Amino acid sequence: MNSHIITIIIAVVYFVVILVIGYLAGLRTKGMKDYMIGGQSLGVWITSLGIMAAVMSGWTWLGNPGYTYTYGYSGHIRMNGIACLGLVLCYFAIAKPVRVISEKHGCLSLPDVLATRFNNNKTIHILTCAIILVGCFTYLVSQWSSMGVVMEYILGINYKWGLVIGAIIITAYVMFGGMLASMWTNFFQMILMFVFAIVLMFVCFKACGGLTNMNEMAAAIDPGMVTPTWSEKGMSFMFIFSYQFLLVALGYGGQPGINTKFMMVSSRKELKWSPLISIVALVIGCSTFFAGIAGADLVAAGAFEAPAKNDQILLSLIDYLFSPGIGACILVAVMAAVMSTAETYLFQAATTMTQDLAVKVFGVKWDDKKTLRISRIVMICVTIVTVILALDPPELIANLGTQAFGSFCGGFGAVMYIGMRWRRVNSKAAIAGLVSGLCLSGIFPLINTVFFDNALLPGFTAAGLGVVVSAAVIIVVTLCTKREESIVFSHFTN
Amino acid sequence: MIWGLPFWTFFFVFITPVLAIILSIVYAVTFKDDDTWFTFEDLKKKNHKNKESER
């Protein structure tokens, strides 16, 4: 059978499976608690793998191999070097506090948790909603764009049609089934990614004559391919340090796709083994970078031609290494990665506007069922707006999309970590931390890219600086202002 | 060279995931199923108590 037809059949089967999952989840969704945090009924496996599925976007499958194909191991170290340690830090610092606050105070979202931590402070609630909305909208535009590219490649249809079909499918199951659908499909998507990442890794090793041989072949192309930094290609120590060590490792806790999910487990006990499952999933998922090294070796050996764009190295490698059936499954895993991230941010955007802004901040009196209905309508509106933007993304929006990750890390990271572990932090310090983090991690990099072509702070990830400055601002303002007793610590005995 | 990689490359590619796995096991072993969590203030109190007992 023609390989293209096999790919289309497997993709259609995948779409049917996730739509059925969405439908079944929808039958169990009765109110906003079910819709937003799965009724706090999820087990450790679904939660832990769901967290990782949200983190692993299309970038893991397309960008990651492309980056190592271009920059060798230094590219991998910049993007993933100590990400797994950052994730462990995130669990140690905020997983339990977020779960307990959600349980005791009925919080359903990150803005809700942060506002509650600072005694239902409205400014903090509005500020966090604004950061989330800007981040989610721009993230969504970039995810829809990736979806269009992947669907175009897999189904052989026009980019715009691919984007629209993908967006309709995702919106259908998330709108109907809410977070439950998102988490169940995330689980299924993560299993797909997990299995095919392992297959891909070992097939790459085999194609290059083993891991050691693969690395020696890479070093023969250029010794910089295997060194931890590669200054000639711009991967200087400071460039890697500012991104991986400051932004990713210290800012993971600021990602709403991660911290919101700590609220969803059925009991606190379920958090116990969650980091271990998440870390193993993260390590296996990120192993796609080996495909970049193997791709560089095989292109240099003349096994196949270099792709037109470096990001397409995985696609070229799949064509070369796999039979049509397995290749199709890996392509569907790539699509699953894009979908799992897109659905998380689509959901966040819609529920932030309804449950957080309308109901909690502005005090609109909707009952649970009406809020649920309006959330679903808002989700359709968010999809329409972001899909229109993604059809031909304006430069500003495309740039904002790349800054969204940094904005979340810089905006929320320090406030979450320090605010949860230092009782003395007050609302003034939190507001100062949120604003300074957002300015340095979101707005400054955007201005630097759009107006200065990254000439300010060359070779440094400004967003990483945002996390550190935000932490420093929180500490200084806390020490200089009056202590406020927070309601979330009221049950502490000492 | 370990598996064809310089030490620091090997460290960031293979050792950090192992460290993360060890730390996540430490998290599980030290996890307490209650509704409080460790804060900086607890650290201060511990130091204070230690000093008092030394006196």
B14 at A interface, C-beta within 8 A: no
User: What does the pLDDT read at residue A265?
Assistant: 87
Residue A401 pLDDT > 70: no
At residue A284, the pLDDT reads 92
pTM of the model: 0.88
All residues of chain A having their beta carbon less than 8 Å from the beta carbon of residue B31 are 96, 271-272
Minimal-distance CA residue of chain B relative to A244? B12
Residue linked to tokens 């191999």: A65
Half-sphere exposure of A295 (CA within 13 A, CB side): 31
Look at residue A299 in the predicted model and tell me its pLDDT. Answer: 95
Average pLDDT over residues A173-189: 84
What whole-number distance in Å separates Cα of residue A142 and Cα of residue A386? 9
Tell me the three state secondary structure of residue A344.
helix
Q: Which pLDDT belongs to residue A407?
A: 84
- pLDDT band at residue A17 under the 50/70/90 scheme: confident
Q: What is the pLDDT of residue A218?
A: 95
3 state SS of A295: helix
State the average pLDDT over residues A423-451: 89
Find tokens 């200087």 and name the residue: A236
- What are the tens digits of pLDDT across the range A276-329? 999 999 999 889 999 999 999 999 999 999 998 888 898 889 889 988 778 778
pLDDT digits (tens, 9 = 90+) for A69-89: 999 999 999 988 899 999 999
Best of B1, B13, B36 to substitute, by most chain A Cβ atoms within 10 angstroms, is: B13
pLDDT grade for A227, boundaries at 50, 70 and 90? very high
Nearest CA in chain B to A267: B33
Chain A contact probe: residue of B16, B32, B46 with most A CBs at under 10 A: B16
pLDDT given for residue A491 in this prediction: 85
Tell me if chain A has a CB within 8 Å of the CB of B52.
no
Of the two residues A398 and A354, the one the predictor is more confident about is: A354
Query: Which of A103-107, A361-365, A366-370, A417-421 reaches the highest mean pLDDT?
Result: A417-421
Q: Is A235 left (phi over 0), alpha (psi -120 to 50) or beta?
A: beta
Residue A396 confidence class, pLDDT cut points 50, 70, 90: low
Q: Alpha-carbon torsion A464, A466, A469, A470, what sign?
A: negative
pLDDT digits (tens, 9 = 90+) for B10-37: 999 999 999 999 999 999 999 998 889 9
- pLDDT for position A398: 58
Residue-wise pLDDT for A117-170, tens only, equals 999 899 999 999 988 888 888 888 888 888 888 888 778 888 889 889 989 988
Amino acid letter, residue A197: A
Measuring CA to CA, which residue among A46, A456, A489, A107 is closest to residue A265? A46
- What pLDDT is stored for residue A256 in this prediction? 86
Nearest Cα of chain B lies from the Cα of A468 at a distance, in angstroms, of: 19
Q: Which two tokens stand for residue A60?
A: 């893991």
Cβ atoms A155, A375 nearer than 8 A: no
**A216 and B4: CB-CB below 8 Å?**
yes
Chain A residues touching residue B4 (CB < 8 angstroms): 211-216, 218-219, 226
- Max mean pLDDT range (A145-154, A384-393, A441-450, B28-37): B28-37
Encoded amino acid at A121, one letter: N
A397 has pLDDT over 70: no
Q: Residue A24, class by beta-carbon neighbours within 10 Å (0-12 exposed, 13-18 middle, 19+ buried)? A: middle
**For chain B, how are helix, strand and coil distributed in percent, rounded to 5?**
70, 5, 25
**pLDDT band at residue A395, thresholds of 50, 70 and 90?**
low
The number of beta carbons lying within 10 Å of the beta carbon of residue A451 is 9
Q: Report the Cα A276 to chain-centroid distance in Å.
A: 19
Q: Does B43 touch chain A (CB under 8 A)?
A: no
Phi, psi of A60 (to 5 degrees): -55, -40
Distance CA A272, CA A259 (A): 15
On chain B, the residues whose CB falls within 8 A of the CB of A77 are 9, 12-13
Contact across the interface for B6 and A104, Cβ inside 8 Å: no
Query: Is pLDDT at A429 greater than 90 in this prediction?
Result: yes
Residue that has been written with the tokens 């000639």 in this structure:
A232
pLDDT at A276: 95
> What are the helix (H) ranges across A82-121?
83-90, 96-105, 110-117
Residue type, B52: E
Give chain A positions within 8 Å (CB) of B40: 421-424
Is residue A39 pLDDT above 70, yes or no?
A: yes
Mean pLDDT of A198-211: 94
Given an 8 Å threshold on Cβ–Cβ distance, is A279 in contact with B24?
yes
Report the C-alpha gap between A339 and A334 in whole angstroms.
9
**Averaged pLDDT, A402-416:** 85
H-helix segments, A56-92: 58, 64-71, 73-80, 83-90
The average pLDDT across A173-193 equals 83
User: What is the structure's pLDDT at A340?
Assistant: 78
Q: Residue A216: count other Cβ atoms within 10 Å of its Cβ.
A: 18
3-state secondary structure of A306: coil
User: Residue A192: enclosing H or E segment and its boundaries?
Assistant: helix A159-207
Minimal C-alpha gap between A457 and chain B (Å) = 25
Which residues from B are below 8 Å from A423, CB to CB?
Answer: 39-41
User: Distance between CA atoms of A229 and A142, rounded to whole angstroms?
Assistant: 28
Evaluate if residue A402 carries a pLDDT over 70. no
CB-closest option in A96, A213, A423 to B41: A423
Q: A296 near A73, Cβ under 8 Å?
A: no
Instruction: Give the residue from A326, A302, A304 showing the smallest Cα distance to A313.
Output: A304
> How far is B47 from chain A, CA to nearest CA, in Å?
14
Percent of chain A with pLDDT over 70: 98
Note whether A228 and A80 are within 8 A (CB).
no
